[in-house]
Chains A and B, each alone.
Chain A
Amino acid sequence: MPAVSMTVNGKAVTGDVEARTLLVQFLRENLRLTGTHVGCDTSQCGACVVHIDGIAAKSCTTLALQCEGAKVTTIEGLAEPNGPLHPMQEAFRENHGLQCGFCTPGMIMAALDIVRRRGNDLDEHTIREQLDGNICRCTGYHNIVKAIAAGAKAMAKGGAHQAAE
């Protein structure tokens, strides 16, 4: 089996994988980072969104081998262990931007990518359009939209423009 090595949440990792192994499988099954979820098989739902070299991607539509040498950040890598939450995580909690929690890691990772691309002052229309790649069945998005706007603002205050990658 081919070997793959990459940096995940700041740690160098390696593994032997079948070529057909998706990044999400590598994360969940090899590294036991189960915060990244699989909600569909056609790249629509966005529950699997992670950052590859700082850019949001669907880890269900990326081969592990495509990430050779890459820096991958997952939901588990946003806050330091025992450290404070990332402002975007905090905003989701504060604004009740989640219910069952299954889409949440992907939503938060996608939200950070919106901030990367569109800055910290986000209006409702922009957030709704830019969430096109993530589906939530619980919240009706109302509070997710609020959370992302608030999280983006809080990031500006804290000087954290991007995820900790």
Chain B
Amino acid sequence: MSATGIGAAVRRKEDLRFITGKGKYTDDVVRPGETRAVFVRSPHAHAKINSIDVSAARKMPGVVDVLTGKDLATDKIGNLICGWMIHSKDGTPMKMAPHPALAADKVCHVGDAVAVVIAETQAQARDAAEKVKVDYQVMPAVVDPGKAKSGPQIHDVAPKNTIYEWSLGDAKAVDAAFALAKHVTKLDIVNNRLVPNAIEPRVALAEYDAGTDQLTLWNTTQNPHVSRLVIAAFVGMAPEHKLRVIAPDVGGGFGSKIFIYPEEVVCLWAARKVGRPVKWTADRSESFVTDAHGRDHVTHAELALDASGKMLAMRVKTIANLGAYMSTFSSSVPTYLYATLLSGQYDIPQIYCEVDAVYTNTVPVDAYRGAGRPEATFVVERLVEVAARQMDIDPADLRKRNFIKSFPHQTPVIMAYDAGDYNASLKKALELADVKGFNKRKRDAARDGKLRGLGYSTYIEACGIAPSQAVGSLGCGVGLWESAEVRVNPTGSVEVLTGTHAHGQGHETTFAQLVSERLGIPFENVSIVHGDTDKVQFGMGTYGSRSGAVGMSAIVKALDKIEAKAKKVAAHMLEAAEGDIEFKDGKFTVAGTDKSAAWGDVSLNAYIAHKFAGQELEPGLKETSFYDPTNFTFPAGCHICEVEVDRDTGKTEIVNWTAVDDFGTVINPMIVEGQVHGGIAQGIGQALLEGAVYDKDGQLVTGSLMDYCMPHAHDLPSFQVGLTETKSPSNPLGIKGCGEAGAIAAPAAVINAITDAIGNEELGMPATAQTVWAALKRGQPRQAA
């Protein structure tokens, strides 16, 4: 392994600008003549708009324009859309309600935008926004997904607020298997609603050049090309070639910056209307009521086992709250990203899952770190843990008995797992966590009045999203391949243009490691370019732990072509047959001779083109590849959480955390571990601290960081992280992906540990001190089913 090649813990290229304050985030971009936009938002969860009076606002100092949903409709600006078609059991398509960027007739959640004020300064725009008079006719709201079907209808297209009633699996076969079961474990589970809270709030800055009829959008997005595609093709703002989307440094995304939001549409439209750049920067309070939330499932789940603990079948019924409108990928999250993972790491012959997706008067819900897979893992790993406890089988042992051991393995829920060794990660985790010593630690804790508990989560996820044909057959509106363009400069330095986007993942470093190793050139001589539709031809962006498995695979394919072309150039230079040229460590040699050419000589010759005829070989050294994976990848592993619960207050402290993950090939272990740490923190956040709460009228009670509890440093332990490795056979590098694992694994491990400590399985998330105290007080003994 070279010091900067694959497998090396190279320090990150991008850090220098971030640690010196020289990062360039969207809000740091300032355009000449820039104006500021402030949105007028609904204070009501559900209301008709009788009228909007903007006359007073227009007279306020500094106001450039005030625009409403009517103006938007007049200008024929299209609605936002959801790009993944789901069909109900009965074959009917999902009920997608219109989602205008500014509501004209009615508002459907607190925070729904009804008008925008454009002014010289942010403060002036905000002053004027308060003068916009909106006459609302307030209507009853529905916020609880369990009551959505009987609540007031929100959209004309969706009777009973039902978007779809979808199912996966063979219900009859599952019923038959349950009939034969010796043991059935049943759980009612609420997967709590989360607010992503990337620390950088969303920002949109739009500029219109009347001379060229060109629109440019600087935006906090994880996928500039998808954003441009949707805004061009569906919203109809401008043709694709007249719209440029730039995602500069982006301060975290976690899914919330995948989606196409009203604000960027409005800023583009307004910039063209007022003829000046328009910038909108979200306040955190605004983020809470406009950024797509995550999770929000209500589930009943059952697991059937035989007398020996062999799993026979699983039955799951979930109601998924998609909020007031269908966000960009919302429909896929509780279906193909959820039910398809219900087999976990286990050989379960039959699985049946029903999912009803509903509208409520809440912020739209979409993918958030893990997207569907944390929900699935929580269902599976809680069922397994509780079943083990009920059957008095060691939870690790019950898992082992049911692990899938041979690959490929076709689950009953679409996925074909291609590689893994679940025993290996469990075994290593058991050792690292010193599970053998747990009973002693539990006794010691008891002497201090503390309740100690241990919880496992042997999770699986489907990443490397995704084979285009496969997702197309499941309803996805786009292909999920990735592109790469490798430009070799005459002097031998290399620029790689990728369609993925980094917002913390360190692609500028890991992608350069790949190129450095493959071409044998210094790491410093490689630049990674992303986040600009004028530079990168097309790409699908970053989410679903796809950038390594799909994005780097595209780079590999492009590098294959570069090598092939460079060998042709070298053959001319060295006057040898192309087939005799070998390439290693940045040097081209003629096999069996000492004739060689250095990388930089070959790149220079490719451009000066003196050694070959143009008719024979095109000058230049630049190649493009579009890589479509052959399968999802299946990262998996074992996380073990150990907690201590304060009996008097119910406060939980996480005292040990062990994570052993199989991510396939690891390019940079330092970065991979960092991803694991961050994921675990978000998972612990979900389990212990975070929960978006609406009151019955649809007001978000946890609408700021004063009430919504983000994990702080003192809420978390240091993490013990280990790796096992089985390579993914589905991409050339054997990468599986690591970005979401922690968030997927962690919640179940935490809740399994606390329920172990307190001896009561009825425990909701977040398991705050109060929640745990109440569970301790109820003190119901574990039910044997």
Residues of chain A touching chain B, judged by Cβ–Cβ distance below 8 Å, are 18, 20, 28, 32-42, 44-45, 47, 74-76, 78-79, 85, 89, 92-94, 96, 98-105, 108, 124, 127-129, 131-132, 134-145
How far is B711's CA from A132's CA once the two chains are assembled, in angstroms? Answer: 10
Q: A96-B671, A138-B504, A141-B713 are in contact. Are A108 and B19 (CB under 8 A)?
A: yes
Determine the residue in chain A with the shortest Cβ distance to B15.
Answer: A93
CA A35 – CA B254 in complex, angstroms?
22
Report yes or no: B21 in contact with A76, Cβ–Cβ below 8 A: yes
Chain A residues within an 8 Å CB radius of B22: 35, 76
- The answer, among A100, A127, A143, for a CB contact under 8 Å with B199, is A100
Query: How far is A75 from B674 in the complex, measured between Cα atoms in Å?
Result: 23
Q: Does A89 contact B20, Cβ atoms closer than 8 Å? A: yes
B1 at the interface (CB under 8 A from A): no
Decide: A99 and B674 in contact? CB cutoff 8 A: yes
Bound state CA distance, A142 and B711, in angstroms? 12
Selected A-B contacts with CB under 8 Å, 8 pairs:
A37-B251, A44-B710, A76-B21, A96-B11, A102-B200, A108-B19, A138-B674, A142-B716
Q: What is the CA–CA distance of A32 and B15 in the complex, to the nearest angstrom?
A: 20
Q: Is the CB of B705 within 8 A of A100?
A: no
> In the bound complex, what is the Cα–Cα distance between A151 and B30 (angstroms)?
34
Check: B14 CB closer than 8 A to any chain A CB: yes
Complex contact A96–B670 (CB within 8 A): yes
Residue B544 interfacial (CB < 8 Å): no
Q: Are A76 and B20 CB-contacts (below 8 A) given A100-B198, A137-B197, A142-B718?
A: yes
Q: Does B201 have its Cβ within 8 Å of any Cβ on chain A?
A: yes
Is the CB–CB distance between A40 and B705 below 8 Å? yes
Chain A residues with CB under 8 A of B677: 139-143
Q: Does B327 contact A (CB under 8 A)?
A: no
- Within B1-59, the residues touching A (CB, 8 Å) are 11-12, 14-25, 27-28, 30
Beyond A34-B25, A98-B18, 13 extra complex contacts between A and B, CB < 8 Å: A41-B283, A41-B285, A75-B19, A92-B15, A98-B15, A101-B249, A105-B19, A105-B21, A129-B714, A131-B713, A138-B678, A139-B678, A142-B716
> What residues on B are CB-neighbors of A94 within 8 Å?
11
**Shortest Cβ-Cβ A-B pairs, 8 listed:** A35-B21, A102-B251, A101-B18, A140-B681, A100-B504, A99-B504, A140-B677, A75-B21
Q: Which residues of B contact A143 (CB under 8 A)?
A: 674, 677
Least Cβ–Cβ distance between B151 and chain A, in angstroms: 32
Would you list which residues of chain B between 73 and 127 have a CB under 8 Å from chain A?
A: 123
Evaluate contact between B506 and A140: CB separation under 8 angstroms.
Answer: no
**A137/B198 in contact, CB under 8 A:** yes
Smallest CB separation, A65 vs chain B (Å): 15
Bound-state CA distance A32–B27 (Å) is: 11
B613 proximal to A (CB < 8 A): no
Residues of B with C-beta under 8 A to A28: 28
Assembled-state Cα–Cα distance A20/B11 (Å): 42
Q: Select the residue from A18, A89, A100 with max chain B CB neighbours within 10 A.
A: A100
Q: Are B719 and A85 in contact (CB under 8 A)?
A: no
CA distance A108 to B20 in the complex (A): 10
Beta-carbon contact of B706 and A42 below 8 Å: yes
Q: Are B705 and A42 in contact (CB under 8 A)?
A: yes
Give A33 to B712 CA distance when docked, in angstroms: 27
CA of A22 to CA of B199 in the docked complex: distance in angstroms?
Answer: 19
Q: Is the CB of A131 within 8 A of B714?
A: yes
On whether A132 and B713 interact (CB within 8 A), knowing A45-B705, A99-B505, A99-B674, the answer reads yes
CA distance A126 to B200 in the complex (A): 27
Expressed in whole angstroms, the minimum distance between the Cβ of A81 and any Cβ of chain B is 10
Is B704 within 8 A of A40, CB to CB?
A: yes
Q: How far is the CB of A41 from chain B (nearest CB, A)?
A: 5
Q: Confirm or deny: B252 has a beta carbon within 8 angstroms of a beta carbon on chain A.
A: yes
Query: Which residues of the other chain, B, contact A108 by a CB distance below 8 angstroms?
Result: 19
Q: Is B389 an interface residue (CB 8 A)?
A: no
Decide if A100 touches B681 in the complex (CB within 8 Å). Answer: no
* Nearest-CB residue, chain A, relative to B674: A96
Given A42-B704, A101-B504, do A135 and B718 touch, yes or no (CB 8 Å)? no
State the Cβ distance, A139 to closest chain B Cβ, in Å. Answer: 5
Shortest Cβ distance from A91 into B: residue: B19
Cα distance A135–B201 in the bound complex, in angstroms: 13
Distance of A113 from chain B, by nearest CB (Å)? 14
Task: Provide the residues of chain B in CB contact with A129, threshold 8 Å.
Answer: 713-714
Which residues 615-660 of B have a CB within 8 angstroms of A? none
Contact of B250 with A by CB under 8 A: yes
Q: Are A132 and B712 in contact (CB under 8 A)?
A: yes
Q: Tell me if A37 and B25 are in contact (CB < 8 A).
A: yes
Closest B residue to A135 by beta carbon equals B710
- How far does the Cβ of A76 sit from chain B's closest Cβ, in whole Å? 4
Is A93 a contact of B682 with CB atoms below 8 Å?
no
Contact partners of B252 in chain A: CB under 8 A: 99-100, 102, 137-138
Contact in complex: B199, A103 (CB < 8 Å): yes
Chain B residues with CB under 8 Å of A20's CB are: 123
A79 to B22, CA, bound (A): 12
Chain B residue contacts of A135, Cβ below 8 A: 199, 705, 710, 712
Query: A104–B28 Cα gap in the complex (Å)?
Result: 15
| Most-contacted residue by chain B among A45, A79, A85, A140 (CB, 10 A) | A140
A85 lies within 8 A of B197 (CB): no
Q: Could you tell me the distance in whole angstroms from the C-beta of A21 to the nearest C-beta in chain B? A: 8
